[in-house]
Structure 1
Amino acid sequence: MPSRTRTVVALPGTFCSPVIYERVRHLLAERFDVDAPSWMTDAPDCTLDGVATWVADRVTAAARGPVLLIGHSTGGAIALRLATTRPDLVGGLMLVNTGPHMRGHGDVAALIAGMERDGASGVIGPVLDRSFHTAPTPDDRQRLLDYAHRAPLRAALDVLRSQHTTDLTPDLPALRMPVSVVHGRHDPVRTVDAAESMAAAIPDARLHLLDAGHSPMYETPAEVATAIGELERRMAG
């Protein structure tokens, strides 16, 4: 067991509250300091590059590097950008139901267009519900909905537009830190094949396929906590 507490920085996806990491945070409390920042409400620039810079500044200011960095969904794209631009700050990287690009990502273009036209209120509920194979508790679902409705529309549009036009695939072979690709098998948007392809493109990556949907850190927290512990040991080694 590691002799000191390891800092974990955990980035949620678009419209996703940091609440999504609470179950994992509880399981890791004795060994890890889990920081899940609300980048949608707090980052001044919500493009991929803007949020990655904001997270890097937080890590640097707190003297936390190198950290174990987790990114879920859009948070995974942000984490990938940070790992490629500031590898000195990232000792280990966990990518959860995410990918280096948005090709084959279902209806993202239509989602952006609809939000530009009508706002986000009509899409938040359906996007939330498709993010779970095992539904959240009613209280947690309400907390997630409340956060999503408070999140600035501009933040969602800025990050989704930049993610939609970004392809980080060429950067994957340059990653030198240990990487864990964690993927829920029942994700209706990000496929298992895509997760396998991403893991294969990263030199030191291990793939963990879990019995979950788009949000395994909530649906299967014990398995995700185990994967985090394994990643930390690889970092230490």
Structure 2
Amino acid sequence: MRTVVALPGTFCSPVIYDRVRLLLDERFDVRAPSWMTDAPSCTLDGVAGWVADRLAADGSDPVLLIGHSTGGAIALRLALSRPDLVGGLMLINTGPHMRGHGDVTALIAGMERDGTSRVVGPVLDRSFHHAPTPEDRQRLLDYALEAPLGSALEVLRSQRAADLTPDLPALRMPVSIVHGRFDPVRTVEAARDMAAAIPGAGLHLVDSGHSPMYETPGAVVAAIEELDGRMDRR
């Protein structure tokens, strides 16, 4: 059975991966840790180290690692620092840096001033081109509102300061990049640039916004199965 570790983005509940989990067959064991609430440190390095320690303790074969948004930056950091733990890497609507990302500095300033209650709703809603069901939106909103403010500030400051672009050519495991065409924050051009910088990376453009695993789960499952096949052929 292939272990899949799926890291959600900032403020994003692990339930965002539920639709993918339901469509995958019994060959895949999908684990989506709640790093915002459980990791002792929420810098990119801190979360990557926390996940690495859990994987090393399991003693399992190298995993298929998925990272969405900020979770993608964490996944990149983990794949670069502990390639022995990662057999394949999928990056979903993310990037190696925050240049051109939009309003991250204003977002951090707003949270420093007012907390998270005013920002999580707009951040959630802009993450979907195809809106979630009212029930799912409420579940995602509840998680975001309960996430620790300190964790959100720590990871966003860390991500803003990071630029992993020079390290991308060092990735040697199979890599797939999945990107929603209608993401208002991360552009298709940026996804193409990242794919071009990673040796042998595949690029899958899908008809979604920032959250393909929820909006177009079938396309994400197809990309996971393709990446799994490339892992088997190594």
TM-score band by shorter chain is over 0.9
CA shift for structure 1 position 204: 1.8
* SS at structure 1 position matched to 2:202: strand
Q: Quick check: 1:126 aligned with 2:128?
A: no
1:6-155 to structure 2, matched below 5 A, reads 6-155=2-151
1:145-169 deviation per Cα after TM superposition (whole angstroms, max 9, x unaligned): 0000110000000000000000000
- Paired with 1:101 and 1:29, the residues of 2 have a C-alpha distance of 34
- Whole-Å Cα distance in 1 between the matches of residues 183 and 27 of structure 2? 29
Give the structure-1-normalised TM-score. Answer: 0.98
Is the CA contact 1:59–1:65 (under 8 Å) kept in the aligned structure 2? no
CA shift digits 1:196-215 (9 cap, x unpaired): 00000000200000000000
Distance 1:232 1:164 in 2: 31
**CA positional deviation for 1:29:** 3.8
Does 2:225 correspond to 1:226? no
The number of residues matched between the two structures is 233
Q: Does 1:178 align with 2:171?
A: no
Gaps of 5+ in 2: none
Q: Distance in 2 between matches of 1:156 and 1:29?
A: 33
**CA separation in 1, counterparts of 2:78 and 2:60?**
14
User: What is the TM-score normalised by the length of structure 2?
Assistant: 0.99
User: 2: distance between equivalents of 1:51 and 1:64?
Assistant: 19
Letter matched to residue 182 of structure 2: H
Q: Once the 2 structures are TM-superposed, how far is the Cα of residue 99 of structure 1 from its aligned partner?
A: 0.0
Percentage of pairs with the same residue: 79
- What's the C-alpha RMSD, in Å, of the aligned pairs? 0.6
The within-5 A match list for 1:158-237 is: 158-237=154-233
1:50-92 deviation digits (Å, cap 9, x = unpaired): 0000000111111234000000000000000000000000000
- For structure 1, the residue ranges without an aligned partner over 5 or more in a row are none
